[in-house]
Every structure is written in C-alpha cells, then in structure tokens.
Amino acid sequence: MKIAIGADHAGFAYKQQLVTALQSQFDVEDFGTHSESSVDYPDFAHPVADAVESGRAEFGVLLCGSANGVAITANKHQGIRAALCWNEEVVKLARQHNNANVLCLPARFVSYDQAYRYILTFVTTAFEGGRHQNRVAKIACS
C-alpha cells in the first residue's frame, strides 16, 4: 500500500517521524515540507491530493496546525474526500461512512502517538458501502 504524505511547517516534525515509522509497513511518498520554515500549506496539499486522485497512492495524509487549510485545499480535487480527524472514532467513521481517502490531522491538537494510531486506523478501516455508497456518490459536482 502506498501512502502520500505532506505537511506545512506546523506539521513538519510529526511528518518526519511518521514517514520513518510508516516506512517499515508501507510505501510512503513524502511531498514535503522539509523544514520548519514557514510555508504555504496548499503547496503540499495539492501534490498529495494529486497522488491519491491519480491512483499513484491509495491514501493521503496531510498535517498542518489545525488541519483546516489542508482539508479545504485537498477537497478542491474532484476525486478526493479529505477528512479532518481529531479522535479515533471520527477517523473510523470517515472511512466507514464517507470512504475518505485523505486523512487531515491537526498537529497542534493531537499528539504524535495519536497521529500515528489514527493513520493506522484510517488505512485499515474499510468503507461499509451499502446505504453510505449512495451518499458518497452524491458528493462529486457534475
């Protein structure tokens, strides 16, 4: 399984640790940023969303301070369902009910251990389909 990951300066430290930790189990592509210098989050959210939308990665992970900016940016992509998640139940529901394919984590509001656990939960939780499939099918703009 391939995971695309990106972060702005607020998520940089977690991203660095997560890339190292996740590489033992997954193929991880790091889209930056590569320092704690102030950057613009869309510069990293768009490439992660592109990778997932094109099928080069099964899932994306984005981190910024609140995760709002990266979620808004990623969701501009037609094939992306980015979910801002701050606890494990929300992570599971994002996958089970919304078939989310990009996990957006608020680095200033979750611990590193939580972020790591949420990613594992996200990529191992299946979409339930059924009544949720009809709803997910209505998300895209025509």
Tens digit of each residue's pLDDT (9 = 90 or more) over 22-52 = 999 999 999 999 999 999 999 999 999 999 9
pTM (global) more than 0.85: yes
Query: Is the confidence at residue 142, as pLDDT, over 90?
Result: no
Q: Is the dihedral of CA 100, 54, 31, 3 positive or negative?
A: positive
How many angstroms separate the CA atoms of 42 and 3, rounded?
Answer: 18
pLDDT at 141 (0 to 100): 85
> What is the residue-averaged pLDDT of the chain?
97
pLDDT at 96 (0 to 100): 98
Residues with catalytic roles: 64, 97
Backbone angles phi, psi at 6, to 5 degrees: -155, 160
In the CATH scheme, what architecture does the domain 2-137 have? 3-Layer(aba) Sandwich (3.40)
62-92 confidence digits (pLDDT tens): 999 999 999 999 999 999 999 999 999 999 9
48 touches 75 (CB < 8 A) = no
Task: Give the distance, in angstroms, between the CA of residue 70 and the centroid of all CA atoms in the same chain.
Answer: 9
